Amino acid sequence: METFHLMTRVTVRDDEGNTYAAYEAPVAIKGESWPAGGKVQAATYGEKLPYVRNVKVAGNYEARKPSPSRDEGHVAISDGVQIVMPDGANVVCYSGVKPSTEGGNVEYVFEDGTVIREKDGLCIDVVQPEGADGEEPAYLPPDYEIISITPHKPLILQVMRR
């Protein structure tokens, strides 16, 4: 078993109203990883296949809808978005895109409280620094992003190099 560091993705709004992705402090998880391959993954990821890895996460989990606090301020695109045009006309757009701009519409909660969602970061090759004298270290950004989750027992993640 290898140790990876999961970094929860959060959306941050700066003083000027712009939003960007940031990551919370890393949480250690156990599992194993291997390069993506095979006909299905080759067809799915095409030229990006060399940058994709599979990660099997150890432990029991429960799938659930995301808690409201994790989705605050995010629009579920599949529910329809009302756009007001400059001339006052209302346009309602519907799409089959997966809901929520923060990843999928399911989160996976492990017995120890660890929560995994699509678009969270995963450190596979990056080694996170230790804090000196109890100080919070400046964490390095994750080197992979969770792009897909397959809910088998155990949980299987497909991650792509950032």
Spell out the long-range contacts of 14-21 with Cβ–Cβ below 8 A and sequence spacing 24 or more: 21/119
Confidence of residue 94 (pLDDT cuts 50, 70, 90): very low
What would the two tokens of residue 98 be? 């997966």
Which range has the worst mean pLDDT, 37-41, 65-69, 98-102, 127-131? 98-102
Between 128 and 27, the higher pLDDT residue: 27
Between 89 and 112, the higher pLDDT residue: 112
Q: What is the pLDDT of residues 39-92, one digit of tens each?
A: 999 999 999 999 999 999 999 999 998 866 554 434 333 344 444 444 444 444
Which residues is 107 bridged to in the sheet? Answer: 64
Computed over its alpha carbons, how large is the radius of gyration of the chain? 18
